[in-house]
Amino acid sequence: MANSRFEYVKQFERENFLLPDTYIVIRVDGKGFHKFSEKYEFEKPNDERALKVMNQAALKMMESFPDITVSYGDSDEYSFLLQKKCNLFERREMKLVSTFASHMSVYYMYAWNEEFPQKPLDPSRLPTFDARAVQYPSFQHVRDYFSWRQVDCHINNLYNTTFWNLVVKGGLTGQEAENRLIGTVSSDKNEILFKEFGINYNNEPEIYKKGTVMVRDYVSSHEEQELSKRQLQRLEKQRRKANISTLHVDIIKDGFWNERPWLE
């Protein structure tokens, strides 16, 4: 029922319903986290407690959205996999991305305030995230997506570890360290770390090298559109109660996935 002659403006609203029966990955990315990490003086190359804040926020996401089966993140980004039968917000893209960005932001802010009471957030530099949703037709694409992110984590972390050792322990300026690393491949960086700083990169903490994966324990999946309301509620309850594991392991090889066939 129209409440006024102005209500016609609603007709200009558009929705993009994501394709049914297709995996959805929503990735949130910190906005301006380079400056954020400078302002709040993150330890370099990795700030263990800041990562803990990210991971706590991601864990809250999984608790709030039982449709998320796996999450993976490192640095200032996190990817959330929605099972392919998921009907959250009727799969409306704007609703999904805006809601995920909103929740991630407040969960991060809450966890920050808990973790860093001595570093109160400044209103001019609060933690914010954008989000995007991507559709993948097959589970192989999903596997490749998470491999892509974990390779990226590895490449960035090896670079950052070498860069910051050159700066902090090696006394180079940022520009000098950057120049030193141009054209180097992984083995070169491993060698710099080992020969110049006595660091065996393989011994670095797994959380830095592999990132963090969170996975919900087994819950049977169903074609949700066909369930009764009561069945849906029971299923959601099961999902909410399922244990969530936080791991720092390889998700490129088959092992992780073979052990959890219900993710497919």
Q: Which residues bind a second copy (CB under 8 A)?
A: 3-4, 6-14, 16-17, 19-22, 28, 31, 60, 84, 93-95, 97-107, 109-110, 121, 123, 126-138, 141, 144-145, 147-148, 151-152, 155
Smaller CB separation from a second copy, 94 or 176: 94
Smaller CB separation from a second copy, 173 or 233: 233
3-class DSSP assignment, residue 92: strand
CA max distance for the chain: 75
* Residues whose CB is less than 8 angstroms from the CB of residue 78 and which lie 6 or more positions away in sequence, other chains included: 27, 28, 54, 57, 58, 61, 71, 72, 104
Smaller CB separation from a second copy, 38 or 223: 223
32 is in an annotated binding site: yes
34 is in an annotated binding site: yes
67 is in an annotated binding site: no
Alpha helices, DSSP H, located in 182-264: 186-197, 206-210, 229-241, 255-258
Q: How far is the CB of 54 from a second copy (least distance, A)?
A: 15
171 is in an annotated binding site: no
Q: How far is the CB of 43 from a second copy (least distance, A)?
A: 23
Question: How far is it, in rounded angstroms, from Cα 140 to Cα 130?
Answer: 26
Smaller CB separation from a second copy, 194 or 262: 262
33 is in an annotated binding site: yes
Q: How far is the CB of 169 from a second copy (least distance, A)?
A: 27
Please report, for residues 36, 138, 164, 165, the alpha-carbon distance to residue 174 in angstroms, rounded to integers and kept in the order given.
18, 43, 8, 11
3-class DSSP assignment, residue 193: helix
Instruction: List, as residue ranges, the binding site for Mg(2+).
Output: 29-30, 76
